[in-house]
Amino acid sequence: MSAPYFQTFSLTTYLAVSLLLGFFFGFFLERAGFSSAHKLTAQFYFKDFAVLKVMFTAIVVAMLGIAYLSLVGWLDMGQVFVPPTYLWPQLVGGLLLGAGFIVGGYCPGTSAVAVAIGKIDALLFALGILMGIFLFGVTAPRITSFNLSGYLGNLTIPTWLNLNIGIVVLAVVVLAMVAFWAAEKSEGPWKVFARLYGKPSKGDERR
């Protein structure tokens, strides 16, 4: 969602803030290990749930910030842009993105981070993204009816289920806590297996 504060900034300030936030976003992604395809694909093999933990944490923090700022009157939710939902193209696009994530080991954001530190596999992945964008641009006029199919408007969970936003926020927080707990439990057996049968570290080899 786009922040509603851009109208109070000059274009130069808006671009400077965006650049600064983007830099730190990429920096912390790299420091968290998300420039490694092995780290990212481990999520899909149920070995390392760092991706789930970091992204779910980001979602919860942003959600709570928006909810509380709106509650105290510092944020006008009517000015927050919610992209319209087109069910079928977004469903297909999500599946393709997930498949590409598993096969290539990156998503668009993490590939940019890995390219920035000189990883060749990430560069090839990023070139594949650009090729996909180009091909979509070429074929989009021919599949317009599909691209606009399943239109549901500016759909959100509170409006979809007719629930109070506070209930939805609480439910997502509880869901996140359960997901974190389940992730820790499922990682346990893999960590034991890695210690018993995995490649010894350099320190172990020296000993």
User: Has residue 66 got a pLDDT over 80?
Assistant: yes
74 & 162 share domain: yes
Please identify, among 110, 133, 151, the residue that sits at the C-terminal boundary of a domain: 151
Contacts of 128 (CB under 8 A, 6+ apart): 100, 104
Q: How confident is the model at residue 204 (pLDDT cuts 50, 70, 90)?
A: very low
Rg, C-alpha atoms of the chain: 21
Q: Which domain holds residue 30?
A: 1-82+156-207
Q: How far apart are CA 42 and CA 5, in angstroms?
A: 38
83-124 confidence digits (pLDDT tens): 999 999 999 999 999 999 889 999 888 999 999 999 999 999
68 & 164 share domain: yes
Quick one: DSSP state of residue 150?
T
Give the count of domains, the chain: 2
For the purposes of burial, counting CB atoms within 10 Å of the CB of 66, is it exposed (0-12), middle (13-18) or buried (19 or more)?
A: middle
Instruction: Give residue for tokens 């510092």.
Output: 74
127 & 137 share domain: yes
4-44 confidence digits (pLDDT tens): 555 567 778 888 988 998 899 899 888 888 999 988 888 88
78 & 89 share domain: no
144 & 175 share domain: no
115 & 26 share domain: no
Q: What is the mean pLDDT of the chain?
A: 84
User: Has residue 199 got a pLDDT over 80?
Assistant: no
160 & 73 share domain: yes
25 & 66 share domain: yes
Flag whether the pTM goes above 0.85: no
CA distances from 58 to 52, 54, 110, 127, 156 (A): 10, 6, 15, 27, 18
